Amino acid sequence: MDRLAVAVVGASGYTGAELLRLLVDHPRVTVAHVTAHRSAGQRLVELFPHLRGRPELEPLVCRAFDADEVAAAAKLAFLALPHGESVPAATALLERGLTVLDLSADFRLRDPDAYEAWYGPHPAKELLGRAVYGLPERHRRELAGARLVAVPGCYPTATILALAPLLDAGLIRADGIVVDAKSGVSGAGRSPTLATHFAEAGEGVRAYKVAEHRHTPEIEQELSLAARAEVTLTFTPHLLPMTRGILATCYALPADPSLPRAAYLDALRARYAGERFVAVVEQPPDTAHVRGGNRVHVGAWLDARAGRVIAMAAIDNLVKGAAGQALQAMNAALGFPEWTGLDAVGPFP
Ligand SMILES: NC(=O)c1ccc[n+]([C@@H]2O[C@H](COP(=O)([O-])OP(=O)(O)OC[C@H]3O[C@@H](n4cnc5c(N)ncnc54)[C@H](OP(=O)(O)O)[C@@H]3O)[C@@H](O)[C@H]2O)c1
């Protein structure tokens, strides 16, 4: 069977490396082209020695991005670029007939006004309406045949998968939602910064971008669809001294406070029946149980005394929160079984 030639644009970053780790074992694609920015000209396996030993990856050299070169080599491109850099690359690649899966935030918001409020003016507003939000568990049908996929953010993936089924089922109220989420430092990308410096991040826990994190409108967009009402929520992300993982702990008001915990668990189980990557768990989810894999562990609790539902989800930010989800969305877009190349169980401990 012919393999589809794909490109990874931004292959020298963390999500780029994770895409390559997964793509090299995907039976229906071949990595034909990789690009980088400051690291252009370097061999991929020199940038990422953990990718050594695979004959498909050994010869690859990161090129500076050139849309014609990418189009000559590949039919589909993953963009693993910083926010703002994907719009020109995606526009040029779509014009050249490629399918584009973008891991940045550039195409995730449908409403241009919401985009402008959180990020500034969008240089290609017309593309916002064309992009499919690449969360297969919520948008599988729209993904079939999609040419431009906005791969969801890591915090939104965990939060939406924990809360949306409870909103779908009318079990929690659309108002009063609070999301307290924790991430490992790889969520900030490979470029060193003071905030992710070992000496500053290694032994403390802190919140950041309180009440202003740009994943807020993305979460609100998808939860509003589930609630069929406008959702405005409080989202507080925290940085934890670990490399990978996101744990989202979400608090909501029950629509009917007399319902037992089982009602919320049953709603999650019903919504995720048959979903390969989502497990409904009764014990609190742990990032160590999903590390390195495309799995999501979700659960729900009732704090009857305080009148709150607590929904939680754990994911690996680089896999289900980025590269794995991008492959799952690609599989859905191209009509491959969604778990193709993604079914491996992650390492533990
Ligand atoms: N990290 C996560 O957990 C995560 C999860 C979900 C989504 N995302 C999103 O995925 C995207 C990539 O994230 P990442 O963590 O992989 O970032 P990263 O490690 O910082 O990598 C960024 C990549 O973009 C390239 N690049 C940097 N500046 C550029 C520019 N001006 N023009 C063109 N290319 C440029 C870099 O090349 P050089 O290194 O060669 O300069 C590198 O290949 C971001 O939009 C991020 O928000 C990340």
Which residue's CA is the nearest one to ligand 1's atom 31? 85
Q: Does one domain contain both 129 and 260?
A: no
Ligand 1, atom nearest to 189 Cα: 15
**Residue 82 counted as domain residue:** yes
User: By the 8 A CB rule, do 112 and 125 touch?
Assistant: yes
Mean pLDDT for the stretch of residues 305-325: 98
Q: Phi first, then psi: what are they for 219, rounded to 5°?
A: -65, -45
Residue 257: predicted pLDDT: 97
Residues designated catalytic:
154
In this model, does residue 9 exceed pLDDT 90? yes
Task: Please determine, for residue 62, whether its predicted confidence score (pLDDT) is greater than 90.
Answer: yes
Q: 117: CA distance to ligand 1 center in Å?
A: 23
Tokens encoding 60: 């690859």
| 180/305 same-domain check | yes
Same domain, 73 and 171: no
Q: Is residue 215 part of a domain?
A: yes
Residue 217 lies in a domain: yes
Q: What's the gap in Å between 82 CA and the centre of ligand 1?
A: 4
| CATH code, domain with 250 | 3.30.360.10
Ligand 1 centroid–CA 191 distance in Å is 8
69 and 110, same domain (yes or no): yes
Q: What is the DSSP string of 47-69?
A: H-GGGTT-TTTTT-BPBPP-HHH
Whole-number Å distance, alpha carbon 81 to ligand 1 midpoint, is 4
Find the helix packing angle between 324-334 and 136-143, rounded to 10°.
30
Our measurement of the distance from residue 109's CA atom to the centroid of its chain's CA atoms, rounded to an integer in Å, reads 14
Q: What is the mean pLDDT of residues 16-33?
A: 98
* Angle between helices 216-227 and 112-119 in degrees, nearest 10: 150
Which residues, listed in sequence order, are joined to residue 313 by a DSSP beta bridge?
248, 298
Which of the listed residues 12, 33, 66, 316 should we mutate to test ligand 1's pocket, taking the one with most ligand atoms within 8 A of CB?
Answer: 12
Q: Does 172 reside within a domain?
A: yes
Atom 47, ligand 1: residue with shortest CA distance: 104
Asked if 115 and 200 sit in the same domain, the reply is no
- Which residues' Cβ are closer than 6 Å to ligand 1? 10-16, 36-39, 80-83, 85, 103-104, 153-154, 186-187, 189-191, 317-318, 321-322
Give me the pLDDT at residue 83, please.
95
- Looking at the fold, whether 223 and 257 belong to one and the same domain comes out as yes
- The residue among 135, 113, 139 whose CA lies nearest residue 125 is 113
Q: Could you list the residue range(s) of the whole structural domain that residue 70 is in?
A: 4-152+320-334
Q: What is d(CA 18, CA 270) in angstroms, rounded to the nearest whole number? A: 31
Q: Are residues 184 and 310 in the same domain?
A: yes
- C-alpha 269/C-alpha 120 separation (Å) is 39
Residues 246 and 280 occupy one common structural domain: yes
Q: With contact defined as beta carbons under 8 Å apart, do 246 and 317 qualify?
A: yes
Nearest CA to ligand 1 atom 45: 104
What is the reported pLDDT for 75? Answer: 98
For the cut 90, the answer to whether the pLDDT of residue 1 exceeds it is: no
Residues 10 and 84: beta-carbon distance below 8 Å: no
CA 278 to each of CA 67, 127, 157, 248: distance values in angstroms, whole numbers, following the listed order: 36, 30, 12, 15
| R_g over Cα of the chain | 20
Q: Mean pLDDT across the chain, nearest whole number?
A: 98
* Residue to mutate (ligand 1; options 34, 37, 215; most atoms within 8 A of CB): 37
Question: What is the domain-level CATH number for residue 59?
Answer: 3.40.50.720
The number of distinct structural domains making up the chain is: 2
Asked if residue 232 belongs to a domain, the reply is yes
Q: Is residue 145 part of a domain?
A: yes
Q: Which atom of ligand 1 is nearest to the CA of 11?
A: 43
**Claim to verify: residue 288 and residue 160 sit in the same structural domain:** yes
Average pLDDT over every residue of 112-134: 96
Q: Cβ(177)–Cβ(163) under 8 Å?
A: yes
Q: What are phi and psi of 129, to 5 degrees?
A: -70, -20
**At residue 181, does pLDDT exceed 80?**
yes
Do 111 and 187 lie in one domain? The reply is no
295 found inside a domain = yes
Asked whether the predicted pLDDT for residue 176 surpasses 80, the reply is: yes
Using the atom order of ligand 1, give the atom closest to the CA of residue 12. 43
Instruction: Identify the pLDDT of residue 40.
Output: 98
Whose Cα sits closest to atom 21 in ligand 1? 13
pTM of the entire structure? 0.98
Shared domain for 202 and 192, answered yes or no, is yes
Neighbours of 257 (CB within 10 A): 11
Q: Please indicate, yes or no, whether residues 158 and 240 belong to a single structural domain of this protein.
A: yes
pLDDT tens-digit series, residues 255-308: 999 999 999 999 999 999 999 999 999 999 999 999 999 999 999 999 999 999
In a domain, 342, yes or no: no
Res 147 pLDDT > 80: yes
Ligand 1 atom with minimal separation from the 10 CA:
43
Report how far ligand 1's centroid is from the alpha carbon of 80 (Å).
Answer: 5
